[in-house]
Amino acid sequence: MPDLKDIKKLYFIGIGGIGMSALARYFNGRGVTIFGYDKTRTPLTEKLSAEGMTIHYEEDVTQIPEGIDAVVWTPAVPKNHTELTWFRERGYAVMKRSEMLGIISRSMKTIAIAGTHGKTTTTTILTHILRTGGVDCTAFLGGISENFESNFVEGKSDWVVVEADEFDRSFLQLSPDIALVTSMDADHLDIYGNHDDMLDGFTSFISKVKHGGTAYLKHDLTIKKIPENVNVIENAYGINCGKSQAQNIHVENGNFVFDIENEENTLHNLKFTLPGKHNVENATAAILIARQLGVTDEAIHEALITFKGIKRRFETIIKNENITFIDDYAHHPEELKAAIRAAKMLFPNEKITGIFQPHLYTRTRDFADGFAAALDELDEPILLPIYPARELPIEGVNSELIFNKMKNLNKKITTKEALFDILNIKKIKVLLTLGAGDIDAIVPKIVKQIENISTK
């Protein structure tokens, strides 16, 4: 691997991924010439091209330029990918995205946010709070921040905020100064095998914290072995529990309002734009770290009320007197429950319709019971076929597996093509689209249908 300062041309395989594109933007901003492949042209890849990067969309080694210094690839790309194989056979310096992020993080003061859910939101909230409070941090985000209109934020200080992804054990490449774990629910069992081995992965992540660094764990989390020379703070935060706890949560004029009480003082009447108790908890975690870095209470108040949100994290697409349409990335049973309950708190007197697209055959197989229970909380649940992503089909695993376990009498199952035949927009007051696959592709079609009705 060449020294980072010697890299002039960098090639990304899977450049359109949220983590990959953030890395590409980091190097592009430092004058490195960026080339890359992705299988799908998206608004994000179009933005990357507009920023000066050269991207193509076919597996075609003839489009690889000469003089590439290093190659970054994502595990979302098959290991037998034509271009990846071509680079390896010719001895190029090839590394995973997580390895490159690890190299960058070791050269800076790093805050790493881990968790099976909550990490993207917490990372983005923390970045906004820090920058509002005068800490000019760099950030690699797992979603598109509405405040920064990007998944990468360039800063001038020594601090960098990164999302520590447990998938493929990527977070073990990091060596943070401060770590935080939001959740350790079973997930990615196709990688870890079982929940116990996944918990071992989180213990290993905490052991990666630099000598004398700090690791915060949510109130209900423990790790198997506390490493020496790391200040591990268990029971660090939570709702009505933990050393720093959110209290008195209520909805006021569309905002979630709460207090934070800890050993030092109480922050009163914090107004937060992002709905849901789970997001109040994420904000509490972010505030915990921000205060460690010296951010004032006044800046925290300002940051929470000016936080605009994240693309596909309870993102309000349309809100008018007839309908509210919200799009969310939820793809784990706990995330589904959190999104649905947030909608219920905001709209306690309205019927809530949710369209869910399961993500991955293995996740559907492993958590079918949890998905069924979560979807039963909707007034009208609609199931779409599984989005396979990187996986091949598994016999007997399909959306019907979830559907047949559901007890909700209003449940429906359909295809994306037939969805609009059963979607009666005129009778829907609150609509959620839920999932991490390509369900976001139907969002513009739903918007068009809503607009057509409103103009009649």
- Tell me if 452 sits within 8 A of 445, measured CB to CB: no
Task: Tell me the CATH number of domain 315-454, given options 3.40.50.300, 3.40.30.10, 3.30.420.40, 3.90.190.20.
Answer: 3.90.190.20
Beta bridge partners of 87: none
With 70 as the cut, is the pLDDT of residue 455 above it? no
Q: What residue ranges of the chain are covered by domains with CATH 3.40.1190.10?
A: 108-305
Between CA 283 and CA 291, with CA 285 as vertex, the angle to 5 degrees is 95
pLDDT of residue 365: 95
Provide the pLDDT confidence category of residue 456 given band limits of 50, 70 and 90: low
Q: Which two tokens stand for residue 247?
A: 């209290």
pLDDT of residue 254: 85
d(CA 456, CA 454): 6
Q: What residue ranges of the chain are covered by domains with CATH 3.40.50.720?
A: 4-96
- Beta-carbon count within 10 A of 264 CB: 8
d(CA 426, CA 163): 40
- Tell me if 367 sits within 8 A of 189, measured CB to CB: no
Please tell me the CATH code under which domain 108-305 is placed.
Answer: 3.40.1190.10
d(CA 326, CA 328): 7
pLDDT of residue 242: 94
Give tens-digit pLDDT for 169-208.
889 999 999 999 999 887 877 778 898 998 999 999 999 9
Between CA 188 and CA 283, with CA 329 as vertex, the angle to 5 degrees is 95
Q: Which two tokens stand for residue 386?
A: 């599984």
Q: Are strands 138-145 and 150-153 parallel, antiparallel or unpaired?
A: antiparallel
Mean pLDDT of the chain: 93
Helix (H, G, I), strand (E, B) or coil at 120: helix
- Beta-carbon count within 10 A of 201 CB: 17
390 vs 314, higher pLDDT: 314
Interhelix angle 333-346/277-292, rounded to 10 degrees, is 100
Q: Are strands 159-164 and 138-145 parallel, antiparallel or unpaired?
A: parallel
Q: What residue ranges of the chain are covered by domains with CATH 3.90.190.20?
A: 315-454
Helix (H, G, I), strand (E, B) or coil at 406: coil
For the segment 13-19, the average pLDDT, to the nearest whole number, is 93
Provide the pLDDT confidence category of residue 5 given band limits of 50, 70 and 90: confident
- Tell me if 281 sits within 8 A of 239, measured CB to CB: yes
Give tens-digit pLDDT for 322-364.
899 999 999 999 999 999 999 999 999 999 999 999 999 999 9
With 90 as the cut, is the pLDDT of residue 306 above it? yes
d(CA 435, CA 323): 20
DSSP character for 344? H
Give tens-digit pLDDT for 368-420.
999 999 999 999 999 999 999 878 899 999 999 999 999 999 999 999 999 99
With 80 as the cut, is the pLDDT of residue 1 above it? no
- Beta-carbon count within 10 A of 272 CB: 22
Which residue, among 235, 216, 219, 231, has the nearest Cα to 289 in the 3D structure? 216
Neighbour order of strands in the sheet with 324-328: 315-319, 324-328, 430-434, 352-356, 380-383, 412-413
CATH top-level class of 4-96: alpha beta
